[in-house]
Amino acid sequence: MVEKKLNVVEQIISLCARRGVIFPTAEAYGSLAGFFDYGPIGVELKRNVEAAWWKHFVTLREDVVGLDGSLITNPRVWKASGHVDSFTDPLVDCKKCKARYRADQLIEDELKLSVDGISPKALEELIKKHKLVCPKDKGELTEVRVFNLMFATQVGVIENPDSKVYLRPETAQSIFAAFKSVHPVARKKLPYGIAQIGKMFRNEIAPRNFVFRAREFDAAELEYFIHPDKLNVCSLFSKEHGNFKAFFYTAEMQEKGKKQEEFTVSELLEKKVIGTQWHAYWLVECMKFLTEIIGIRKENLRFRQHVKTELSHYSSETWDIDYNYPWGWKELQGIANRGNYDLTQHSKFSSADFSVFDEETKSKVVPVVIEPSMGLGRLIFTAILDSFYQKEEKGEVRNLLRLSPILSPVKVAVFPLMKKDGLAEKAREVFELLRDSGFAVEYDESGSIGKRYARQDEIGTPICITIDYDSLEKSDATIRDRDTGEQQRVKMAKLVDKCRELLH
Ligand SMILES: [Zn+2]
């Protein structure tokens, strides 16, 4: 079963390359592990995902403003945030063939153990205890060493220790370091958020699973600032949030070796498993975005609480939204309570005061932060994986992406049945009408009609319109539904409205 599922991943990677969605960078030069290009279809898909996220978490909300931070910033930001000293992964080398491994991944692969968040020393003990060797040539492994994941570069022409800077390893610090500049101009009172979509860079020892673990990627992130005494006073928390049901895998269930279970959010809030009402609110909002807007099936998602050993140094409580990937349940999104760690650190390391004046209590407070954060490449890949179907047609296996229409790179494709007899001209008229009405539309007259349908199915185009001989006589067109393959004839005059209706 797992093999069959992994085979699906191979087919998706092949589809992504063949249709210009995502492919390894600079393939002519043998590419570069962990770096990817988005092709003509992929870039549209990515822009659609970004637009959907921005609309949902920024535009439609009164309590969130945006930021676009620089990729390189003052290196003291990374000293304050703890990245210079502790943003590391454990690594081991093979003494024989010099192959390099992430120690935790090697242990997971070889021993089928989950070792998330375990210390380098504990990893070393596991390697010794189980006499692990290099999987390639059984060579002896070095001791576990830690390796900083930040990409360093320099500012200015002369290389010296003072000119060393880093490509940002997370987007969050751009928001925290800019908080003093944003707060006075945002004209918001607590609680409110600052959102950002942007690039980040992590020098992963072993990038793998396609874009799932890349070295350069975009994150969509929201830092939501709350009065430290009001984490349980969420005016936006409705009955709907409380009654929201999902699969939860709490820290306690993991520690006791139990399986995930369905709960309502209220049940877990009452038991204080979810620590605060604001955290619960954002858990629900994030899950709703993934299922209702992006269209990922809810049965493939769950909330998993971080166990104590894997909590980041800044976090008191973190929940992941996991997706059921072919290689197991893994994080798609994280929703962390970062406390006031970051703003406090920046107050300490800079000469500035990062607190906020609270009108109600007439006192200064350092806000606490709840942070929903997600890698966009991972989200795009997950949306593709979740919408990937195969169907048999005339003895051939056909691929189909049942993408939510708002994500589809092409919304409508227009074909003439043949190029001749005025069909092409009529089809181009329809194409122009739809394009001028604001649809992302593609005109295609090459190859058999079956091939043209197949191409659009593979990139998730919801609607294909065909102009045939009847169309010329009756002034209508055939609309074909991607998911059912069903066709209906629609009058030209109603075509635009019909497309709007179907894409809604
Ligand atoms: Zn080796």
SS (H, E, C) 10-65: HHHHHHHHHCCCEEECCHHHCCCCCCEEECHHHHHHHHHHHHHHHHHHHHCCCCEE
CA separation, residue 498 to residues 59, 67, 463, 492, 502 (Å)? 27, 38, 10, 10, 6
Per-residue model confidence (pLDDT) at position 212: 87
User: Ligand 1 centroid to 76 CA: how many Å?
Assistant: 38
**371 close to 402: Cβ distance less than 8 angstroms:** no
User: Ligand 1 centroid to 136 CA: how many Å?
Assistant: 5
Per-residue model confidence (pLDDT) at position 2: 59
User: Ligand 1 centroid to 260 CA: how many Å?
Assistant: 38
Question: Which stretch of DSSP H or E encloses residue 171?
Answer: none
What backbone phi and psi angles, to 5 degrees, belong to 125?
-65, -40
CATH of domain 2-87+151-385: 3.30.930.10
Strand bridging mode 463-467 / 412-416: parallel
Structure tokens at 409: 């790179």
User: Ligand 1 centroid to 98 CA: how many Å?
Assistant: 6
Per-residue model confidence (pLDDT) at position 86: 85
Alpha carbon distance 332, 301 (integer Å): 9
**37 close to 23: Cβ distance less than 8 angstroms:** yes
User: Ligand 1 centroid to 17 CA: how many Å?
Assistant: 31
Alpha carbon distance 89, 83 (integer Å): 12
User: Ligand 1 centroid to 93 CA: how many Å?
Assistant: 8
Is the peptide bond preceding residue 90 cis, with omega within 30 degrees of 0?
A: no
User: Ligand 1 centroid to 134 CA: how many Å?
Assistant: 5
User: Ligand 1 centroid to 88 CA: how many Å?
Assistant: 23
Per-residue model confidence (pLDDT) at position 459: 97
Per-residue model confidence (pLDDT) at position 387: 97
User: Ligand 1 centroid to 8 CA: how many Å?
Assistant: 30
Buried b (16+ CB within 10 A) or exposed e, 100-132: ebbbbbbbeeeeeeebeebebebbbebbeeeeb
Sequential pLDDT tens for the chain (504 residues) = 556 677 899 999 999 999 999 999 999 999 999 999 999 999 999 999 999 999 999 999 999 999 999 999 999 999 999 999 888 889 999 999 999 899 998 998 888 877 877 888 889 999 999 999 999 999 999 999 999 999 999 998 777 777 899 999 999 999 999 999 999 999 999 999 999 999 999 998 878 788 988 999 999 999 999 999 999 999 999 999 999 999 999 999 999 999 999 999 999 999 999 999 999 999 999 999 999 999 999 999 999 999 987 777 778 899 999 999 998 999 999 999 999 999 999 999 998 999 999 888 899 999 999 999 999 999 999 999 999 999 888 888 899 999 999 999 999 999 999 999 999 999 999 999 999 999 999 999 999 999 999 999 999 999 999 999 999 999 999 999 999 889 999 999 999 999 999 998
Question: Which stretch of DSSP H or E encloses residue 78?
Answer: helix 76-81
User: Ligand 1 centroid to 5 CA: how many Å?
Assistant: 29
User: Ligand 1 centroid to 24 CA: how many Å?
Assistant: 26
Per-residue model confidence (pLDDT) at position 156: 85
Per-residue model confidence (pLDDT) at position 4: 66
User: Ligand 1 centroid to 1 CA: how many Å?
Assistant: 30
Domain ranges in the chain are 2-87+151-385, 90-102+105-148, 410-503
**174 close to 70: Cβ distance less than 8 angstroms:** yes
User: Ligand 1 centroid to 92 CA: how many Å?
Assistant: 11
**371 close to 171: Cβ distance less than 8 angstroms:** no
User: Ligand 1 centroid to 133 CA: how many Å?
Assistant: 8
User: Ligand 1 centroid to 85 CA: how many Å?
Assistant: 29
The fold of the 410-503 domain, in CATH, is: Rossmann fold (3.40.50)
User: Ligand 1 centroid to 101 CA: how many Å?
Assistant: 10
Q: Do domains 2-87+151-385 and 410-503 have the same CATH topology?
A: no
User: Ligand 1 centroid to 116 CA: how many Å?
Assistant: 24
User: Ligand 1 centroid to 212 CA: how many Å?
Assistant: 25
Longest CA–CA separation in the chain, Å: 80
CA separation, residue 4 to residues 10, 163, 385, 401 (Å)? 10, 50, 14, 18
User: Ligand 1 centroid to 128 CA: how many Å?
Assistant: 16
Nearest residue to 203 via CA among 168, 243, 230: 168
User: Ligand 1 centroid to 61 CA: how many Å?
Assistant: 53
User: Ligand 1 centroid to 125 CA: how many Å?
Assistant: 20
Nearest residue to 326 via CA among 404, 262, 386, 398: 386
Residue bearing tokens 């390796």: 147
Alpha carbon distance 180, 197 (integer Å): 20
Per-residue model confidence (pLDDT) at position 15: 95
What backbone phi and psi angles, to 5 degrees, belong to 487?
-120, 145
Amino acid sitting at position 159: E
The size of the chain, in residues, is 504
Question: Chain centroid to CA 314: how far?
Answer: 22
Per-residue model confidence (pLDDT) at position 159: 72
* Per-residue three-class SS string for 86-126: HCEEEEEEECCCCCEEEHHHHHHHHHCCCCCCCCHHHHHHH
Beta bridge mates, 195: 66, 222
User: Ligand 1 centroid to 217 CA: how many Å?
Assistant: 30
User: Ligand 1 centroid to 94 CA: how many Å?
Assistant: 5
User: Ligand 1 centroid to 130 CA: how many Å?
Assistant: 17
What backbone phi and psi angles, to 5 degrees, belong to 473?
-75, -45
Per-residue model confidence (pLDDT) at position 94: 94
Question: Which stretch of DSSP H or E encloses residue 464?
Answer: strand 463-467
User: Ligand 1 centroid to 331 CA: how many Å?
Assistant: 30
- DSSP letters for 230-260: -TT--TT--HHHHH-EEEEE-HHHHHTTPPP
Per-residue model confidence (pLDDT) at position 163: 83
User: Ligand 1 centroid to 119 CA: how many Å?
Assistant: 24
**441 close to 435: Cβ distance less than 8 angstroms:** yes
Q: Is 177 exposed, middle or buried (0-12, 13-18, 19+ CB in 10 A)?
A: buried
User: Ligand 1 centroid to 402 CA: how many Å?
Assistant: 43
Q: Which phi-psi region, left, alpha or beta, contains residue 2 (left: φ > 0; alpha: ψ -120 to 50)?
A: alpha
Packing angle of the helix pair 40-54, 376-387 (nearest 10 deg): 110
